[in-house]
Structure 1
Amino acid sequence: MWTRRAFTSLVCAGLACAGGGERARPLRLAVTTSVHDSGLLGVLVPAFTAATGRTVEVSAVGSKRAIELLALGQADVALTHSPVEEAQAQASGRVGARTPVMRNAYVLVGPPRYTGVVAGAADIRGALRAVAVSGRRFVSRGDDSGTHQRELQLWAAAGIPAESAFILPFTGGMAEALGLAAREHAFTLSDRATFLTRRGDLGLAILFQGGSDLDNVYAVLEPAPQTAADAEGARAFAEFLRSPAGRRLVGSYGVETVGEPLFTPVE
């Protein structure tokens, strides 16, 4: 069974397994919770294992923590969606190569009866200003994830203090944040893939979407030379996601379950 914080792919195939039938050490992947909570990771990891013979041990955390685990040598590779922090870590030499692999978008969600709150907003900044004056609550991830970092950037662009009373701080993954927004009858910012996968009986709807400010790019980060314990495995993971097989898996995910692709491979 897949758990959000950590799991291990148990499939081992091909000659990459250690001699005598023993498994090589698993590739330690630190990954943003949205890739896990959307279900995409449950497709990518078994395919990577089947293609390379490498098992994978996953820590599903916020993007900032994933970058930290990689920089500390506690992860071999990371899959994150926080471009500003990724660039800073790369410029400082804390991580190595950055390979963009896929994208989707952020969406503003909330109870359908709140549609009128953001109706007519020209962009996400206008939508957030409308939320701020509406008297409705907004669930904030508060966990230094890529989604949280984008949320903070958007509040700043909208001229709204991130410490405003209507913003409900919360530390947890995307799926948990959506659940809290449903219970609190509140707005929240979500990646589109996790929302469409998890919406079920939440009673939430997409109330605003579109615009470059909501673009959401995911990248594979490889370790810096001084912390690399499995540089070959990290490169193999990045190359798999950029391969025709990896791109097909990314681009087709969601079509059967929600009726549309949830991620788009980058060119």
Structure 2
Amino acid sequence: MWTRRAVTRLVWPLGALVACGGGERARPLRLAVTTSVHDSGLMGVLVPAFTAARGRPVEVVPVGSKRAIELLATGQADAAITHSPVEEAQALASGRIGGRTPVMRNAYVLVGPVEAAGVVAGAADIRGALRAVAGSGRRFVSRGDDSGTHPRELQLWAAAGVPAESAFILHCNGGMAEALELAAREHAFILSDRATFLARRGDLGLAILFQGGSDLDNIYAVLEPAPDRGGDLDGARAFAEFLRSPTGRGLVGSFGVDTVGEPLFTPVE
């Protein structure tokens, strides 16, 4: 059963869909999904397509990657989509999860107020850009929520030689969409996955001010439960296989083209 926190964030009543054939209801696949994938809108495309193709309804709960791994490891989720490679590797090595299948990628970008573009102009890499932000007198909004983005922030601040608990860093403790809204209100910088920013930028008054470089690569993977943890291993593998199939890859690779003019995710090879 989902925890109270998960239930309150459950979205898309897809469990009400009827499985193909015979009119019997299949138990929904319980899928814990990192908030950036949810906030970009991608799951609204993938889940109905998976249900139509495999006859399996899905319940989705958007949480940070660390929480998604915890739900999977404790049998409260059947599968997870996360983007925290270090924690994924640790969970796999310890036997808390049973498998990891990379399915797509995008990149992190440094976002900030349009009028602050000059702060990071000329930075050679993200480390230099972050040092410039630290010396600018402006705020930086941190996710602060144990998401896949949060540990990447910490790694990048460490690489830049800037303490991650500096006074100019404001912790949101929320999802990517919430953090972007806070950055807009505070006229602050923020590290965002490219997909969520482009899908949500609207009237935020924020722009991508720095991008590029391997330090900003962002890989998403489907995680399977360990055999002894109570999750639905077959269902998790079916979902991973669907995302790796020509149909799934086509949906991932085309998502965003009609709405923002470019793909928001790229299927992995």
Alignment of 1:111-150 (within 5 A): 111-150=113-152
Instruction: Tell me which amino acid in the other structure corresponds to 2:46.
Output: L
Structure 2 partner of 1:253: 255
Aligned-pair identity (%): 82
- Structure 1 residue ranges, 4+ long, deviating more than 2 angstroms after superposition: 10-13
Structure 1 partner of 2:101: 99
- Once the two structures are superposed, what CA deviation does each residue of 1:159-193 show, in whole Å capped at 9, x if it has no partner? 11110000001110000000000000000000000
Distance, in Å, in 2 between the alignment partners of 1:44 and 1:196 is: 19
Tell me the SS of whatever aligns to 1:99: strand
Contact 2:18/2:24, CA 8 A, preserved across alignment: no
Contact 1:107/1:209, CA 8 A, preserved across alignment: yes
Structure 2 partner of 1:6: 10
One of 55, 58, 64 as aligned partner of 1:56 = 58
Distance, in Å, in 2 between the alignment partners of 1:229 and 1:146 is: 22
Deviation at residue 5 of structure 1 after TM alignment: 2.1
Q: Does 1:172 align with 2:174?
A: yes
Structure 1 partner of 2:3: none
Distance, in Å, in 2 between the alignment partners of 1:126 and 1:142 is: 22
Structure 2 partner of 1:226: 228
Distance, in Å, in 2 between the alignment partners of 1:83 and 1:4 is: 27
Distance, in Å, in 1 between the alignment partners of 2:131 and 2:214 is: 18
Structure 1 partner of 2:212: 210
Contact 2:97/2:225, CA 8 A, preserved across alignment: yes
Q: Does 1:196 align with 2:202?
A: no
Distance, in Å, in 2 between the alignment partners of 1:219 and 1:4 is: 24
Deviation at residue 4 of structure 1 after TM alignment: 9.0
Check 1:120–1:4 CA distance in 2 against 1; reply closer, same or farther (3 A cut): farther
Number of matched pairs: 261
Instruction: Tell me which amino acid in the other structure corresponds to 1:5.
Output: R
Tell me the SS of whatever aligns to 1:171: coil
Contact 2:76/2:231, CA 8 A, preserved across alignment: no
Tell me the SS of whatever aligns to 2:163: coil
Distance, in Å, in 1 between the alignment partners of 2:18 and 2:50 is: 10
Structure 2 partner of 1:74: 76
- Once the two structures are superposed, what CA deviation does each residue of 1:88-140 show, in whole Å capped at 9, x if it has no partner? 00000000110000000000001011001001100000000000011100000
Instruction: Tell me which amino acid in the other structure corresponds to 2:61.
Output: S
Contact 2:72/2:231, CA 8 A, preserved across alignment: no
Structure 1 partner of 2:111: 109
Distance, in Å, in 2 between the alignment partners of 1:14 and 1:170 is: 42
Tell me the SS of whatever aligns to 1:134: coil
One of 87, 90, 98 as aligned partner of 1:88 = 90
Instruction: Tell me which amino acid in the other structure corresponds to 1:113.
Output: E
Check 1:101–1:4 CA distance in 2 against 1; reply closer, same or farther (3 A cut): farther
Tell me the SS of whatever aligns to 1:74: coil
Distance, in Å, in 2 between the alignment partners of 1:248 and 1:226 is: 34
Tell me the SS of whatever aligns to 1:210: coil
Structure 1 partner of 2:240: 238
Deviation at residue 152 of structure 1 after TM alignment: 0.7
Check 1:203–1:4 CA distance in 2 against 1; reply closer, same or farther (3 A cut): farther
Deviation at residue 65 of structure 1 after TM alignment: 0.2
Instruction: Tell me which amino acid in the other structure corresponds to 1:107.
Output: V
Query: Normalization by structure 1: what TM-score?
Result: 0.96
Instruction: Tell me which amino acid in the other structure corresponds to 1:127.
Output: A
